[in-house]
Amino acid sequence: MTSFGRIFKVLTRSKFREANLLLLIQLIAIAVSLVWILITGALSTTSLLQAVSSWAGVTYVVGFYLIARRSEQAYTQDTFRLIPVEETWLYLGNLLSSFVMFFYIMGVEVLLHLAGIGIGWQALRKDLGIHPVDMGPNTPWDIIKIVMLVALLVLIVIVLMWTTITFVHLVVSATSNFLPSASKRLVNFVLYIVVIFLVVRVAAFLIVLFSRVTSSLPTSGGIMDLWWPIGGMVLVIVIESVASVFLLKKWVETVPN
């Protein structure tokens, strides 16, 4: 049987190529933007930061889509499914490789933003000014704990997005194997409606949660409210993962490349 490390490398390779191609395209777009700014006579020390920020959102969205597409192909294509590996390791390796590649893109974006901030630091200091931060009764350690907890929440949300996409895809693939065309389209339509509804509800919940946490930040007590949604999302991730592995073992069939 193929080891976990081996399957992780195989699953990461194609995602790494696409991520690098996307980042190369972004660098070209940033260069074109800077040339245009130079031509229009508006070039300044903050131009790089503006160009990076303007393309970062597009890079995140496209990168998430490309990684998700590659990730789901691993569950149905012969290239990956015929590798002698336990379905659980295939699922976990694929999930981890998607997670790592998305944070690889995020890391590059952070470095580009830091480069832009470094070049335009003097102008940014002048424009924004420097004001002392009133932390109220909070100590620096309280602020660090808050930042770490919010970062954990973001990580959990990203993992939940991957597991949900995979679960829905595997359910659709499984129903395609035994339902007639009309019933299959109906089931897929219902699934997509349910997923869209859940995405909207989760997004609204997170917005309200962050708003409440931000408003209660001076006391640092309200931040503990984050543990309940984190625990709930972890439970959903575990349930979706178990169900996805079961579908991989029993229902999902491979398709020719």
pLDDT in single tens digits along all 257 residues of the chain: 778 888 999 999 989 999 999 999 999 999 999 999 999 988 888 899 999 999 999 999 999 999 989 998 888 877 777 778 888 999 999 999 999 999 999 999 999 999 999 998 888 777 766 555 555 555 666 667 777 877 788 888 888 888 888 888 888 777 776 666 666 677 767 777 777 777 677 767 766 766 666 565 545 555 566 777 778 888 888 999 999 999 888 877 666 55
* Per-residue buried b or exposed e for 46-64, using 16+ beta carbons within 10 Å of the residue's own CB: bbbbbbbeebbeebeeebb
Exposed, middle or buried: residue 11 (CB in 10 Å: 0-12, 13-18, 19+)? buried
Q: Domain spans of the chain?
A: 1-131, 134-257
Angle at 40 between CA 39 and CA 43, to 5 degrees: 85
